[in-house]
Amino acid sequence: MRQRIQALDDQFAGLSSSVEHSKVIRILAAVTAHSGDSWFWLIGLGLVWWFGNEYWKHLALVMVVSIAVTALIVMIIKFSVRRSRPEGEWGRIYRSTDPHSFPSGHATRSAMLAVVGLGLGPLWLGLTLVVWAPLVGIARIAMGVHYPTDVLAGMLLGIVIGLVILIIV
């Protein structure tokens, strides 16, 4: 079964080569891929907490704790599965600091944030995150740092984590 999944993922590996041919698409994919970085969200949520009212402070705190919990769960799975990232040049920092690709932490985090945003945030925030989350996953595949099943598994895991967080808070 694992070999079949790998063969299917390898068929989609050509998506990242199409990004290499267009500079504009590559820049858009890189920006979108990085928009799911933890450090980006932690800085942004820190600013929301600092300048926000009690409602926004609570939402920012829930999201920061959720990002930390999500990161822990993803790392446990990554170091259990130990699936290597796709071959490629882009994303050297990811390849050296986090050589494992399954599941995609960016996809997990973005899906979790979308669920939490829908559940706790204003509707505009939730809907924006729902549109944004799959774009992060697609960009991660396009940039060649994840296989499609890494992203799909990450999105599903993020949805589950997000729903559990909503039940807890």
Which of 24-33, 80-89, 128-137 has the highest mean predicted lDDT (pLDDT)? 128-137
Angle at CA of residue 87, ends 86 and 92, nearest 5° = 95
Angle of helix 23-34 relative to helix 14-21, nearest 10 degrees, comes to 120
Which of 48-62, 98-112, 133-147 has the highest mean predicted lDDT (pLDDT)? 48-62
**C-alpha 5: how far from chain center:** 20
* 26 membership: H or E segment, kind and range: helix 23-34
Q: What is the pLDDT of residue 90?
A: 59
Whole-number mean pLDDT of the chain? 85
CA distance 62 to 79: 26
Of 83 and 2, the one with more pLDDT: 83
- The reply to whether omega before 122 is within 30° of 0 (cis) is no
Q: Residue 155 — very low, low, confident or very high, per pLDDT cuts 50/70/90? A: very high
Q: What is the pLDDT of residue 49?
A: 95
Locate 12 and state its tokens: 């989609």
* 101 membership: H or E segment, kind and range: none
pLDDT in tens, 33-70: 778 888 989 999 999 999 999 999 999 999 999 999 99
pLDDT in tens, 80-93: 988 877 776 655 66
Of 28 and 136, the one with more pLDDT: 136
Asked whether residue 128 carries a pLDDT value surpassing 70, the answer given is: yes
Amino acid 115 reads V
Alpha-carbon torsion (59, 64, 69, 74), positive or negative: positive
CA distance 44 to 18: 32
